[in-house]
Amino acid sequence: MPPEPALVRRPEQPYAAIYGVVTMDTIAQIADRLPEVFGWLAARGIPPAGAPFLRYNTLGPGGRLEIEAGVPVASAVNGAEPVLAGVLPAGQYAVVRHTGPFSELAGATQDLLGWAADRGLTWDVTESPVGERWGCRLEVSFTNPAEEPDPAAWETELAFRLAG
């Protein structure tokens, strides 16, 4: 039985990331660049302040995704190509932790979206010319697949910001 989602108030969180436009089939082109972000931070003596994440900025027609592969930091940084600096917004988030392979995250996402709909919750999302633009929609990876080879043990948190 999957865990029950929860509503969590999250503070602002500065981060460093690499941005890209991909599809679900090519998402690894950005996700696999997380070591580059960690290396960029290490070269500047900036320690990570949490688990790495994928931030889905837009979900567009034909499966077009604008995403960032990011790493939280304790305080704001100045980005330098190819790494950009950003801030995850404070607010109320619907959050659930999924244990299992990344291939199951689409189902976990649908479950979270349905859970929120059943409760009349409204997402921080607007329509734009390139698709749904999310205020903050995260997949936070608590397991490094290079260190834990069993996909059944991978832990990922979905955290989607609510409107208001």
Query: What is the pLDDT, as a whole number, of residue 85?
Result: 97
Query: What is the pLDDT, as a whole number, of residue 1?
Result: 64
Query: What is the pLDDT, as a whole number, of residue 30?
Result: 97
Using an 8 Å Cβ cutoff, are 41 and 16 in contact? yes
| pTM for the whole structure | 0.95
The mean pLDDT values, 10 residues at a time, for the chain of 164 residues are: 89 98 95 97 97 97 95 95 97 97 94 97 96 98 93 97 94
| Alpha carbon distances (Å) from 120 to 14, 115, 125, 137 | 30, 9, 15, 18
Using an 8 Å Cβ cutoff, are 53 and 139 in contact? yes
* 11-161 CATH fold: Multidrug-efflux Transporter 1 Regulator Bmrr; Chain A (3.20.80)
List the chain domain ranges. 11-161
